[in-house]
Structure 1
Amino acid sequence: MKQILAAFLVLLMMASCKDEPKENNDATAKQQDTLSIAAVDNEVMEDAIIYEVNLRQYSPEGTFDAFTKDIPQLKELGVKVIWLMPMYPISMKNRKATGDLSIEDIEDPEEKKKYLGSYYSISDYRAVNPEHGNMEDFDELVETAHENGMYVILDWVANHTGWDHAWITDHPDYYTKNKKGEITDPINDETGEPWGWTDVADLNFDNPELRKAMIDDMMFWVKEHDIDGFRADAAHSVPTDFWETAAKQLNEEKPLFMLAEAESPKDLFHNAFDMGYNWEGHHIMNEIAQGKATAKDWDNYMTKIDSTFEKDDYLLNFVTNHDENSWAGTVKERMGDASEAMLALSYTIPGMPLIYSGQEYDMDKRLRFFEKDTISKTKGKVYPLLEKLGKLKMNHKALHGGVDKASYEDVETSADEKILAFKREKDGDELYFVANMSANPVKFTWKVNGDFTDFTSDKKMKISADQQMEFAPWEYKILTNQ
């Protein structure tokens, strides 16, 4: 009997030993699953392209699931970073409706249903808007992005909350007060007048408890939902030292990518953000397209950047985004026949190019901001161009645009007021961009020699320094030495 019992114990121990490695393997596999994408670092971002997702308008459903199924397709465009516009619950109180009206001004119950409010009027930083789905749907989006080699960053609105946020009643000391002691909407510091953002309440960052609560809410998405960074809305309206503290604490949990929406992002960079907005460059693009500025103005701007920013600073380049599309006009409205040349320019200058939802489908309408709308997903002229530009960006070190960006050198031409020409180079990889930045044909010469491949035609071409060239209005070429 003892022998039988001993044999049984031996078998039990053997079975236990067999199970133990299996548990370890399962744990290892689970850990590997969570590391399905490399940690964010400077090298990863050198050839990155960012895609801004307007979830509400991206599909008829306006859901996480509807976007998630299209994530693999974004590989065709070379997308490496997915930026989700705010997908949190939206406040009902003081919700924007139409014109100067708020939801309280609309009497018809059916009419009220049309007005979904601003994405930037948030009632809860730790939840998702049921309009888009549930938290499990969100997690699936992040997981799918990671499986496809893409990072997910969230739009973070730190400057204000919606009027339904629990802090309004639980922590009124978190908010800015007027002379009467009432919580107020955001005020323009320069004029002392309200911005007109009546659907949101201004937060007071002089309160240390608010700062802690805000960072805790940001950390929730990093720890619990594995997101990869934040795009800081109106970053310049929030104290820089808050962003510095937040970035330090968040990056201790996991390396993150931080993007600042700021008119003058220089002071925000080094201890807070990796990248800022190229608003000034974008406005110059618009002005050139409208005949209000010249190629020379662009040269002057690039000289200014070189002397103003640090070597490891870099900017987000775009021809459209959610603000420009809804409030300033479509790409065609603002840039007309210059649209393609400006898009090509946004990919070839130092920095990271942006694609906004619908841009890839030649979207030529202003998306409604407070109501449901939908982009049309018919591939036209822009989609194949973005595919080609994406491959160019990924395959040429000369287009590296991050901390270790390729060099940028102005190339002199005989018509510098109208012809924009520059050279990018890194590790022997060279690329030239040359464009007629005017609405008239231009003949010119430029000081370039060599054998190149023309990106626009895939043809080989030889150029000599004294060779006269003639470009049609808004014609451009991207020339590579490989």
Structure 2
Amino acid sequence: MKTILIMTMLSLSFLFGGCNQAKKNQVAEQEAKADPVEASKASTIYEVNIRQYTPEGTIEAFIQHIPRLKELGVDILWIMPIYPIGDKNKKGPLGSYYAVKNYKEVNPNFGTKDDFRKLVKTVHDNDMMIILDWVANHTAWDHPWIKEHPEWYTKDSTGTVVAPVEDWSDVADLNYENQEMRNAMTDAFVFWVKEFDVDGYRCDVASMVPNDFWESARAEMEKVKPVFMLAEAEKPELHKKAFDANYAWELHHIMNEIAKGKQNASHLRKYFKKEPTRFADSVYRMAFTTNHDENSWNGTVFERMPNSYETFAVFTYAAPTFPLIYSGQEAGLNKRLRFFDKDTIEWKSHKMGNLYKKLNTLKEENPALWNGRYGGNIQMLKTNNNKRVFAFTREKDDNKVLALFNLSDTATDVNIKKFESEETFKDAFSEKQYNGKAPLRLKPWGYFIGLTQ
């Protein structure tokens, strides 16, 4: 009887212990999902230009694309500004998304608040995150604050409200020395998190706004829910408390210069050598071949990178960066979208769509390619041609990736110097295998992304 009782107690202990462990695992999974940084560790971000996305140019019409974007492997949707656009000093027929007339309303050309609420729910139902574009540095000239609170704006010596930059004639500069204005801006920030459940923000010209504002604003949002914050900036101090990710602008410019033949692979080595001295490995460095600014003002990827746009797209996934896809890139967007007018994207099948889908799957499944501290550190390799070839490995747990890029318009035989790995790597895009010992032929702008067997 005593033996049976002990066995019963042990069985119950095992049963409840297992239940408790299962509950702990479930809680841990929920906490990870609630933390957008943890949840985004294998993520790709996608920039949505509502105005140009569909013929209708509405939130409702864009919602129909979410299943396709889910299938593409996108994890975070960055929605360009959805707010009413100012009429005073407006540029072009429709004006700039970044000339905000009201921070708490939806542009009627895009739809209604109910439409936006439906968008957020649809995104979340598809297990994706959604962040809004936020313009904290300036407002439209007919924002109510200008008349109601002129002291909230920067003025010149004559007492006249000024633009933040001479060329930005359609917006007025906000005065961050005014605490009441800061409070109102913070309130608007929190509004979309609390009332619409957005997951964070991409913050326009973040370095032009005091860092202590970003830190205090984030603290207020975090009282509602954890958020993900992306800065359009490249200042390390922004990441002490305020931001999780930023623009890798310098890297973008290096890629453009290499594409033009004005720089080479050695410039990338210098860049990645200094990266650890600038940013902690917790910071996501967003890499891109284009975005709304680059596309509209500096040209399409086919103009700037005519022979290498595919190569650099792959590079943004293989390198320790956080990759961005801009609206239409998966369809081979080959025109500069007009910034102040309607200019609908042409949706069609294109090889880049298949490539991005493959890259998103590869990133999701291989922890060595994950973002920030979650992925593997870059270990650069020397080759027989350090100016043409950029070679590196990234390793995380049992996952190791070998990446070779021929950054030139000349076919190259690659020899890795002092390659100590004993593994054989299989190319992620073909049946080609390579062990790092013999030369590997790469076509002009060719690449090899090798995975261990």
Q: Under a length normalisation based on structure 1, what TM-score does the superposition of the two structures give?
A: 0.85
Partner of residue 342 from structure 2, selected from 359, 367, 372: 372
Structure-1 separation of matches of 2:52 and 2:422: 48
Match of 2:114 in 1: 136
Match of 1:79 in 2: 74
Shift of 1:407: 1.5
Partner of residue 142 from structure 2, selected from 149, 155, 164: 164
Structure-1 separation of matches of 2:452 and 2:412: 25
Match of 1:455 in 2: 428
Once the two structures are superposed, what CA deviation does each residue of 1:385-435 show, in whole Å capped at 9, x if it has no partner? 001001001000010112333221001111111111110111110011101
Structure-2 separation of matches of 1:381 and 1:312: 33
Match of 2:133 in 1: 155
Match of 1:314 in 2: 284
Match of 2:441 in 1: 470
Match of 2:239 in 1: 269
Match of 2:160 in 1: 182
- Which structure is larger by alpha-carbon Rg, 1 or 2? 1
Structure-2 separation of matches of 1:40 and 1:60: 36
Once the two structures are superposed, what CA deviation does each residue of 1:32-84 show, in whole Å capped at 9, x if it has no partner? xxx9x932333211101111000000000000011111111112221111000
Q: Does the CA-based 8 Å contact 1:45-1:402 persist in structure 2?
A: no
Structure-2 separation of matches of 1:405 and 1:464: 22
1:39 aligned onto 2:39:
no
- Counterpart AA for 1:179: S
Moved more, 307-316 or 48-57: 307-316
Structure-2 separation of matches of 1:403 and 1:173: 43
Structure-1 separation of matches of 2:270 and 2:98: 35
Structure-2 separation of matches of 1:464 and 1:245: 50
Q: Does the CA-based 8 Å contact 2:367-2:374 persist in structure 1?
A: no
Shift of 1:314: 2.2
Match of 2:63 in 1: 68
Shift of 1:456: 1.6
**SS in structure 1 at match of 2:307:** helix
Shift of 1:348: 1.1
Percent of pairs with identical residues: 47
Q: Flag structure 1 segments of 5+ consecutive residues without an equivalent.
A: 1-34, 98-114, 188-193
Match of 1:218 in 2: 189
Once the two structures are superposed, what CA deviation does each residue of 1:68-124 show, in whole Å capped at 9, x if it has no partner? 111111122211110000010000000012xxxxxxxxxxxxxxxxx1000000100
1:428 aligned onto 2:398:
yes
**SS in structure 2 at match of 1:337:** coil
Match of 1:7 in 2: none
Q: Does the CA-based 8 Å contact 1:159-1:237 persist in structure 2?
A: yes
Structure-1 separation of matches of 2:38 and 2:164: 38
Structure-2 separation of matches of 1:200 and 1:43: 36
Q: Under a length normalisation based on structure 2, what TM-score does the superposition of the two structures give?
A: 0.91
**SS in structure 1 at match of 2:99:** coil
**SS in structure 2 at match of 1:42:** helix
Structure-2 separation of matches of 1:139 and 1:283: 37
Match of 1:284 in 2: 254
Structure-2 separation of matches of 1:462 and 1:291: 28
Match of 2:267 in 1: 297
Match of 1:13 in 2: none
- Counterpart AA for 1:254: K
Q: Does the CA-based 8 Å contact 2:415-2:436 persist in structure 1?
A: no
Structure-2 separation of matches of 1:422 and 1:342: 15
Q: How big is the alpha-carbon RMSD for the aligned residues of Structure 1 and Structure 2? A: 1.4
Match of 2:21 in 1: none
Moved more, 402-411 or 301-310: 402-411
Partner of residue 410 from structure 1, selected from 380, 385, 395: 380
Please list, as runs of the form range in 1=range in 2, the aligned pairs for 1:312-391 lying within 5 A after superposition: 312-391=282-361
1:56 aligned onto 2:29:
no
Once the two structures are superposed, what CA deviation does each residue of 1:223-243 show, in whole Å capped at 9, x if it has no partner? 111110010000000001100
Match of 1:127 in 2: 105
